[in-house]
Structure 1
Amino acid sequence: MRMRMEGWELGLPFALVGAAAGWISAGVLASPLVDVALGGKQEVAAVCAGIIGGLIGALLPRVVAPRQAWHGRGSTWACLAALVLPGGALAGGLIAGITGGSLYTAATGVVNGVICAAATLPICGAVLEAALRAERARLGSIVAASDRRAVWQILAASLSAATLAALPEWPAARLGQVPVPEIVGALALGAWIAIGLLILADAAALGHRLPRAAADAAEPCSPDAIAPDPAVPRVDLGLGDDVHARLARGDAYRGRDRASLLVIGSHAEARAALAGALRRGALCFALGAAVLVAHRWAAGDGAVHAYRAAHCALGHDRNCDAVEQRRRAMERSHGNRPRTGERRPDLL
């Protein structure tokens, strides 16, 4: 099965993946818990990674389709990694070069870019897998439209899950260490809303368009038994080769029956495909809701206490040493205090 998607159809999703990954990665690398990159370059990271991601997405169909013809789908993942990892290195080096201006920062940016691209690779793979699955149905059909929506649904769910990497920024912002991650929160909320809208579109296809097509053209027939007329409207379900029609019966003057509507495809297969899309959408919607709950928790007091403990454990705060010394002194004093009913040794 060869890839039919045009370059722009993958270029735009991959550009969004790159922009979101660039913004989130720049924030994580500059956060006090990681602290391996300079802060204040999230805008540059989003722009550079978004442009490179869009170019990778536009190039993918031209690279994947010829290899599928000879090697099958298995080689597409090697092609994806061969494009994403160097793209991450290029983006990291470019971002570090623009914001740092030295050879050392550019070299470290290349390493950080490869690491971040490797972390983004599952998202790119999920989007590509959804795009390849969209090739199963005939172009312009009901199922094909649902499969196209699945690409965006998987993208939204993946980006929503990716925002979990920025959870430590919420307690860090409450402590005044970093700006409030409003963009990340808006991305998680927007992805959740987009998933819900796509679910509504699939529900409308399953609950309205498919039953209406079945009711309007309920009589099975053979295409050879119907007088061909290119002006007859057609509804393509996308899967299967069944033909149902709404017939205008012929008489002694008109001869053969004529169709006023043709429905092409299997109702059962189309219904199963759309029901599967709704199940997938429900899982994505639940994931998006869980991510929003996690962001809500990260902005609370419990996350601040956990963040302070992690910050001290990593040795990033000098004030933690004094606090730890006081805590240990209190433990020693409590440990040397005689228990109730117990006499001290020096009084024996």
Structure 2
Amino acid sequence: MRMRAKGWELALPFALVGAAAGWISAGVLASPMVNVALGGKQEVAAICAGIVGGLIGALLPRVVAPRQAWHGRGPAWASLAALVLPGGALAGAVIALVTVRNLHGAVLFAAVTGAVNGLICAAATLPICGAVLEAALRAERARLGSIVAASDRRAVWQILAASIAVATLAALPEWPAARIGRAPPPQVAEALALGAWIAVGLLILADAAALGYGLHRAAGAPERCSPDAIAPDPAVPRVDLGLGDDVHARLARGDAYRGRDRASLLVIGSHAEAHAALAGALRRGVVCFALGAAVLFAHRWAAGPSAVDAYHTARCALGHVAFCASAEEPCPRASAPPPPRRARIADETAVVH
């Protein structure tokens, strides 16, 4: 099966993935927990990664289509990795060169370090790109312009939105760091999660409308027939379900004057297969919607006081002594073991006497 997507149909989804990944990755790399990159370059990272992602999305159908036609889907994932990983390294090097252009003598080192960071971030983003590509490949099953094909195209955006929402979880440690004044709050990451959650909800409504109205209209054509048995009329409304080759019609019976039966509605495809596909899309949408709600709850929790205590404890456990005094529990490495039970009893007895 070949990808029917045109060269630029995946460019926008991959550009959005790149921009979101660039923004989130730049914030994570500059956060106090990681601290391997300079801060204040999230805008540059989002622009560079978005451009590279758009180019990858435009090139991907041209690379995947000929290989998939001969070898199936296996080489599609290899082609995806072969584009995403070098693209991430390129974006990381460009971001580093742009942000450290005034540091003379450190340009080459910054480019190499940025390429390594970009490669690591691209590897972390690869599952999101794979999920979007899988949805695009699944969209090949239905006929173009049909009800199921429209639902499959919405699935690409739905999976993209849910994946971006989950990716914002990487910014959670920035919330408690912001509360103690050590990092800016990741408000953009939370806004991305909120926008993705709203988008998933709107796509669920579209799938529900297709399942309710589209299939209900198709059920109004109960007569199974052959297209040759019906008088052709371009004015007759047609509903293409997208799956299956069955033909059903709502017939206006002919009489002695009209002759042949004429169709007032023509439905192409299998009602059962289309119903199963749309019901599966609704179930997937509900899961994505619940996942987005959980991500938003996680952001709200991370901005609360309990997350600050967990942040201090985590930094203390990593060896940062300055955070141990603020943690609820002393640092495990600095705390002395409790005295034996007999020694405690002896001390208590001495105090009493």
> Structure 2-normalised TM-score?
0.92
* Distance in structure 2 (CA, Å) of the matches to 1:231 and 1:75: 45
The aligned residue for residue 156 of structure 1 is 161
The worse-fitting range, judged by mean Cα deviation, of 244-253 and 282-291 is: 244-253
Q: Which amino acid aligns with 1:233?
A: P
The aligned residue for residue 256 of structure 1 is 260
* Distance in structure 2 (CA, Å) of the matches to 1:293 and 1:141: 37
The aligned residue for residue 84 of structure 1 is 84
Q: How many residues align?
A: 344
The worse-fitting range, judged by mean Cα deviation, of 229-238 and 105-114 is: 229-238
The aligned residue for residue 104 of structure 2 is none
* Distance in structure 2 (CA, Å) of the matches to 1:250 and 1:212: 23
* Distance in structure 1 (CA, Å) of the matches to 2:84 and 2:326: 46
RMSD of aligned Cα (Å): 2.4
Per-residue deviation, 1:312: 2.3
The match for 2:249 among 245, 256, 277 is: 245
The aligned residue for residue 268 of structure 1 is 272
> Structure 1-normalised TM-score?
0.93
Per-residue deviation, 1:273: 0.5
Q: Which amino acid aligns with 2:216?
A: P
User: C-alpha offsets along residues 168-197 of structure 1, whole Å, 9 cap, x if unaligned?
Assistant: 010011011111111001011111111111
* Distance in structure 2 (CA, Å) of the matches to 1:109 and 1:329: 39
| SS across alignment from 1:2 | coil
Give runs of aligned pairs for residues 71-150 of structure 1, distance below 5 A.
71-101=71-101, 102-150=107-155
Q: Where in structure 2 are there 5+ consecutive unaligned residues? A: 102-106
1:317/1:26 CA distance change after superposition, 3 Å: farther
Per-residue deviation, 1:313: 2.5
Matched, 1:55 2:62: no
The aligned residue for residue 301 of structure 1 is 305
Matched, 1:229 2:233: yes
Q: Which amino acid aligns with 2:186?
A: P
* Distance in structure 1 (CA, Å) of the matches to 2:152 and 2:171: 30
The aligned residue for residue 214 of structure 2 is 209
* Distance in structure 1 (CA, Å) of the matches to 2:295 and 2:335: 41
The question of whether the paired residues in 1 share the 8 Å contact of 2:30 and 2:36 is answered with yes
1:28/1:65 CA distance change after superposition, 3 Å: same
* Distance in structure 1 (CA, Å) of the matches to 2:135 and 2:158: 9
* Distance in structure 1 (CA, Å) of the matches to 2:325 and 2:188: 34
* Distance in structure 2 (CA, Å) of the matches to 1:328 and 1:21: 38
The question of whether the paired residues in 1 share the 8 Å contact of 2:249 and 2:263 is answered with yes
User: C-alpha offsets along residues 30-79 of structure 1, whole Å, 9 cap, x if unaligned?
Assistant: 00010000000000000000000010001111110011111111110000
Per-residue deviation, 1:208: 1.7
User: C-alpha offsets along residues 107-147 of structure 1, whole Å, 9 cap, x if unaligned?
Assistant: 10000000000000000000000000001000000000000
Q: Where in structure 1 are there 5+ consecutive unaligned residues? A: none
Q: Which amino acid aligns with 2:203?
A: L
The aligned residue for residue 21 of structure 1 is 21
1:73/1:228 CA distance change after superposition, 3 Å: same
The question of whether the paired residues in 2 share the 8 Å contact of 1:33 and 1:316 is answered with no
The aligned residue for residue 43 of structure 1 is 43
Query: Where is the helix percentage greater, Structure 1 or Structure 2?
Result: 1
The match for 1:342 among 329, 339, 349 is: 349
* Distance in structure 2 (CA, Å) of the matches to 1:333 and 1:178: 40
The aligned residue for residue 198 of structure 1 is 203
Per-residue deviation, 1:342: 2.6
1:78/1:330 CA distance change after superposition, 3 Å: closer
1:264/1:320 CA distance change after superposition, 3 Å: same
1:227/1:131 CA distance change after superposition, 3 Å: same
The aligned residue for residue 31 of structure 1 is 31
The question of whether the paired residues in 1 share the 8 Å contact of 2:218 and 2:271 is answered with no
The worse-fitting range, judged by mean Cα deviation, of 80-89 and 257-266 is: 257-266
